[in-house]
Amino acid sequence: MARITVIGGTGYAGTHIVREAARRGHDVTSVSRSLPAEPVDGVRYDTGSVLEDDTLRAAAAGADAVVATVSPRGEMAGEVAPAYARLADVAREHGVRLGVVGGAGSLLVAPGGPRLVDTPEFPEAFQAEAREFAGILDDLREQPDGLDWFYLSPAATFGAYAPGEATGTYRTGGDVLVTDDSGQSAISGPDFAAALVDEIENPAHRRERFTVAS
C-alpha cells in the first residue's frame, strides 16, 4: 500500500486517479480548493490551493507519491508552472516521488516533430495551456537528480467531453503521440488513471515523460 496525495483530486483526471488508487487499497488523500459533491469511498479530502506553500508541504508530508493534476487554464493560467516548481522543491526535500499530469500538446506528432501544439490544427483556445504544460515538462527535465519524477501526457482526446469507456488496457509511448490505425489518439478517464497508478506501483518511467492511449 502506498500513501498517495493527489493535488486537484476533484477534477476530471484527479477524480479518476483517486478512485482507481483507492480501489486498489492505497492510502489516498485528495487536495483541492473545494470538496466534491460525490466523494469517493476510502479517500481523505482536504482543502487547499496549489498556490499555497503550506498546502504543498502538507501534501508531501508522509506521502510516498504526490500527483499534481491542476490545469493552467482560466484563473490558473500562468500560475501552475511556478507552483509546480515549488512543489518539485518540496517533493525533493521530503524524498517523495512526484507525478505530473500534463497535456498532449507537447507530444511530437512523429519522431523528430513537430509538437502537436505547433501544428495548424491545434485549437488556438488551448495554445497557452499547452505551452505552459510544455514549460513544466522542460522545468522537470532540468531538476537535479535528487528529485524522482514522472510526467504523464494523455492521448490527444481526453477529458469529460469524451469520457470513453474503461477497457482495462492501454498502450504506452514516450514523446511521440500514440495513435490507432485510423490516426486517432484517445484514452478514457479510467484507463488513464490505471496507467498512472500502475506507474506508482511499478515505476518504469523515472525522471521522464510518457504517454498512454487506448
Residue 58 confidence class, pLDDT cut points 50, 70, 90: very high
CA distance 214 to 188: 8
Say whether the peptide bond before residue 120 is cis (omega within 30 degrees of 0): no
What mean pLDDT, rounded, does the chain reach?
A: 97
- Pairwise CA distance, residues 183 & 63, whole Å: 39
Helix residue ranges per DSSP H, 52-119: 53-60, 80-94
For residue 8, CA distances in Å to 15, 44, 77, 148 come to 8, 13, 15, 20
Q: What is the pLDDT of residues 4-27, one digit of tens each?
A: 999 999 999 999 999 999 999 999
Question: pLDDT tens across 63-104, in order?
Answer: 999 999 999 999 999 999 999 999 999 999 999 999 999 999
For the whole model, what pTM was predicted? 0.97
Q: By three-state DSSP, how is residue 135 classified?
A: helix
User: Which residues are within 8 A (CB) of 186 and not within 5 positions of it... i.e. 6 or more apart?
Assistant: 155, 156, 157, 158, 162, 164, 213, 214
- CATH number for the domain spanning 49: value is 3.40.50.720
- In the block, cell 476510502 appears at 42
Q: Which domain range does residue 71 map to? A: 3-213
DSSP strand pairing (43-47 vs 65-68) = unpaired
Taking a C-beta distance cutoff of 8 angstroms, is the pair 8, 50 a contact? yes
Residue 45's H or E segment, with its range, is strand 43-47
| Dist. CA 152–CA 68, nearest whole Å | 10
Overall domain count for the chain: 1
